[in-house]
Amino acid sequence: MNKKNNNEIILGIDPGFGRIGFGVIEKRNNEWQAVCYGCIETNAKNCFVDRLEEMHKELLYLIKKYQPQVAVVEDLFFAKNVKTAIKVSQARGVILLTLKQAEIKIIEVTPLQMKQAITGYGRAEKNQVQKMVKLELKIKKNIKPDDAADALALAITGIAIRKSY
């Protein structure tokens, strides 16, 4: 992938198969700022393979538009529903392959690692994580949906650990 942008850009991804959270942050004037965040939502009426393809295409669009050097992807930690865990794992595979083919450095972190990096406490509640993300990126309004807030938190986590990869 052609890296035209010299600014440091990190893409955070909160995997799912119905909704994939994403957050793009960029270092500007020695401060990290949120550039874009939201969710890729696949059409529930489509078959699963078509949804994976849709996710791949949307992720490629984000990569081409923002040109991140690093992507931080949440690792599947546990799941109460095995069927859902398998589908999320398959979606993660598509996400990881898309990033690898785009020659983006990939960092995988567990939810516990992300919470530890953001709040200093690995068992922090979602609202604590969101408050810290808002403070760090100077975002005034609540970040919705939660998947987008988690993706921004993942991107921020990448700030600290990107140099070791």
Q: What 3 state SS string does 46-108 have?
A: CCHHHHHHHHHHHHHHHHHHHCCCEEEEECCCCCCCHHHHHHHHHHHHHHHHHHHHCCCEEEE
Instruction: List Cα–Cα distances, 101 to 63, 132, 133, 151, in angstroms.
Output: 11, 32, 29, 21
Residue type, 137: L
Q: Which residue in the list 54, 125, 136, 147 is annotated as catalytic? A: 147
Q: Which residue in the list 14, 26, 136, 150 is annotated as catalytic? A: 14
Report DSSP state, residue 121: -
Instruction: Kindly state the tokens that stand for 120.
Output: 């200093």
Q: Which residue in the list 26, 74, 136, 150 is annotated as catalytic? A: 74
Report DSSP state, residue 45: T
* Active site (annotated) includes residue 14: yes
Taking alpha carbons only, the member of 65, 75, 19, 76 closest to residue 42 is 19
* Active site (annotated) includes residue 150: no
Which residues are known catalytic residues? 14, 74, 147
